[in-house]
Amino acid sequence: MEPIDKSKVRIFDTTLRDGEQCPGAAMNEDEKLEIAHHLAKMKVDVIEAGFPISSPVQFNAVQRIAREVEGPIIAALARATRNDIETAAKAIIPAKKKRIHTFLATSPIHMKYKLGKTASEVLKMAPEAVRIAKEFVEDVEFSPEDGTRSDWEFLREICEAVIEAGATTINVPDTVGYTTPEKYGELFHFLISKVKGAENIIFSAHCHNDLGLATANSLSAIKNGVRQVECTINGIGERAGNTAMEEVVMALRTRKDFYGIETNINTQLISRASYMVKSITGMVVQPNKAIVGTNAFAHESGIHQDGVIKNRETYEIMTPESIGLDSNRMVLGRHSGRAGFKDRIVRLGFTPKQEELDSAYTRFLEIADKKKEVFDEDLVSLFTESHRKNAESRFKLEYYHVSSGSSTVPTATIKILINDVNIEESSTGDGPVDAVFKSIQKATKISPELNKLVISPVTEGTDAFAEASVTITLDGKRVVGKGSSTDIVEASALSYIDALNRL
């Protein structure tokens, strides 16, 4: 195990575990692996790859990440039981650097109603779980679940017990987003100053955003000695989400004068990470989201625009380039060649295979015929779509036609290539998109439940490239499909078919 370094704040990314617990954000193995590779490029210190015992998909995904992703520590979550811990240990065997993260509730309400255990029983179970984990790995993290609603003296006893048992990191989570920056900081100041052996371990913060305080709480923890923050890309996670990685990282970088400490993160890969997670999970990023929202570096007020023109620092505390955005977007058009297209794709952070590049370039020419200008955001969207289409698909949209109006019944006709056979069907619906979806159902003979459809423009203007994200459920399996086009009906159809292919 690497020696403990407290000169920087470690970033423990739990997008693939806690972030995935957000309703509708479930990912398959390939998608998890894609995000994990990007997190490694970002120089994340720890990737919590999943909760192996929860399902075979989780176990396999954690195992693949452990085998294929190098650089970060690969962590697996486990409850404080031997079976959970042994399963987590098996999943991370291939990893060069591995960690088991085990947890046990310590708040009075959780111990009584969730565990049905007394405080003395929990005080015995916690170090025992750590001792079991130490049979398999040197690096063990322990979390007293619902730590911010636990008795502070009891937490001190728990921390001392798990340190003695061999824990190397202690994470005190604000599991229900209850605490405040002042109290969370005080709690860590108390533990770091009072717990025997605190100087030999790393204390970690894990915050939820139920009161909108996750980032503020995490920064307060850092100010009071915490040297690991657990977070997710775009702040996704259960309920109101987790601490957003990009917010903590950029706050520490921008206000180094105040915090006096930074992370190892390559911030120029933040924008790409945000888009990747948004695209894979279908979780739309609000326009006014800090750091990665589409309006984060937009200036509409005349006063603001005038100030930025004269000196960017008048209204910008960080630059778009610092998170990987190009403030002077290169515009491509129908006359742009393949070389220029490839150069731009590479500069946007992709490493394309030739067949992916060919597919994306063909799609680019189609879009360029419909739009006067194709922006970076359009290129990211269409290349991501082409990358997905390169995977083997059972269904492929060949043709669609819709008829709709204020005094007509919306009707759609579609032709889908299904296992090399063209199937054509028609249907009516409450609107053109509903009619298209029902036609697709008739052709494929699959009728999932539609949970959510989100259509959002990638760029501005009446000819804007649009992305559609559809979430469907069939036989308990929930998937997200994506599609993009200058036509929102076509984008919706493509997203629905993409979702069916994922099923």
- Per-residue pLDDT of 161-202, as tens digits, reads 999 999 999 999 999 999 999 999 999 999 999 999 999 999
User: Pick the residue with more confidence: 472 or 353?
Assistant: 472
3-state SS, one letter per residue, for 441-496:
HHHHCCCCEEEEEEEEECCCCCCCCEEEEEEEEECCEEEEEEEEECCHHHHHHHHH
Backbone phi and psi for residue 140, each to the nearest 5 degrees, phi listed first: -125, 130
pLDDT value of residue 367: 73
H or E element at residue 169: strand 169-174
Whether the Cβ atoms of residue 360 and residue 345 lie closer than 8 Å to each other: yes
104-113, 264-273, 425-434, 447-456, range with the lowest pLDDT: 447-456
* Closest of 197, 117, 183 to residue 147, by C-alpha: 183
Report yes or no on 205 lying in a domain: yes
Mean pLDDT of the chain: 89
Q: Which long-range contacts (CB under 8 A, 24 or more apart) does 118-124 make?
A: 119/154, 122/158, 123/154, 123/157, 123/158, 123/161
* Ordered alpha helix ranges (H), 173-316: 181-194, 214-223, 245-254, 256-259, 270-281, 302-310
* CA separation for the pair 387, 429 (Å, rounded): 31
Report residue 391's pLDDT band, with 50, 70 and 90 as the boundaries.
low
Residues 254/260/263/264 CA torsion (nearest 10 deg): 100
User: Pick the residue with more confidence: 378 or 360?
Assistant: 360
CATH number for the domain that contains residue 44: 3.20.20.70
Report residue 299's pLDDT band, with 50, 70 and 90 as the boundaries.
very low
* CA separation for the pair 419, 222 (Å, rounded): 55
pLDDT value of residue 255: 96
Report yes or no on 390 lying in a domain: no
CATH number for the domain that contains residue 473: 3.30.160.270
* CA separation for the pair 16, 173 (Å, rounded): 17
Share of the chain above pLDDT 70, in %: 88
For the record, the structure tokens of 186 come out as 């005080």
pLDDT value of residue 343: 78
* Closest of 176, 170, 172, 167 to residue 140, by C-alpha: 167
pLDDT value of residue 465: 75
Give the mean model confidence (pLDDT) for residues 298-315: 51
Give the number of other Cβ atoms within 10 Å of residue 377's Cβ.
20
Give yes or no: residues 204 and 66 share one domain: yes
- Check whether 54 has a pLDDT greater than 50: yes
Whether the Cβ atoms of residue 91 and residue 130 lie closer than 8 Å to each other: no
pLDDT value of residue 20: 83
Give yes or no: residues 270 and 399 share one domain: no
Report yes or no on 253 lying in a domain: yes
Beta-carbon-side half-sphere exposure of residue 170 (alpha carbons within 13 Å): 30
User: Pick the residue with more confidence: 136 or 292?
Assistant: 136
pLDDT value of residue 306: 52
Whether the Cβ atoms of residue 324 and residue 349 lie closer than 8 Å to each other: yes
- Which SS3 state, helix, strand or coil, does residue 94 take? coil
Backbone phi and psi for residue 394, each to the nearest 5 degrees, phi listed first: -80, -35
Report residue 326's pLDDT band, with 50, 70 and 90 as the boundaries.
low
Report yes or no on 326 lying in a domain: no
253-257, 299-303, 446-450, range with the lowest pLDDT: 299-303
Domain that holds residue 452: 395-502
* Closest of 184, 194, 109 to residue 148, by C-alpha: 184
* Closest of 214, 222, 215, 244 to residue 232, by C-alpha: 244
- Check whether 40 has a pLDDT greater than 60: yes
Domain end position, chosen among 229, 259, 281: 281
Report yes or no on 470 lying in a domain: yes
Report yes or no on 291 lying in a domain: no
- Check whether 460 has a pLDDT greater than 70: no
Report the number of distinct structural domains present in the chain: 2
State the pTM of this model: 0.82
Domain end position, chosen among 256, 281, 306: 281
- Check whether 307 has a pLDDT greater than 90: no
Report pLDDT digits (tens) over 239-270.
Answer: 999 999 999 999 999 999 999 999 999 999 99
Q: Name, in order, each residue with C-beta under 8 angstroms of 312's C-beta and a sequence gap of 6 or more.
A: 319
pLDDT value of residue 23: 65
11-15, 90-94, 152-156, 323-327, range with the lowest pLDDT: 323-327
Give the mean model confidence (pLDDT) for residues 477-485: 83
Domain end position, chosen among 232, 247, 281: 281
* CA separation for the pair 248, 9 (Å, rounded): 10
pLDDT value of residue 279: 80
Report residue 79's pLDDT band, with 50, 70 and 90 as the boundaries.
very high
Report yes or no on 451 lying in a domain: yes
Report residue 67's pLDDT band, with 50, 70 and 90 as the boundaries.
very high
* CA separation for the pair 60, 58 (Å, rounded): 6
- Check whether 340 has a pLDDT greater than 70: yes
The sign of the torsion formed by the CA atoms of 104, 109, 111, 114 equals: negative
Give yes or no: residues 266 and 400 share one domain: no
- Which SS3 state, helix, strand or coil, does residue 390 take? coil
Report yes or no on 349 lying in a domain: no
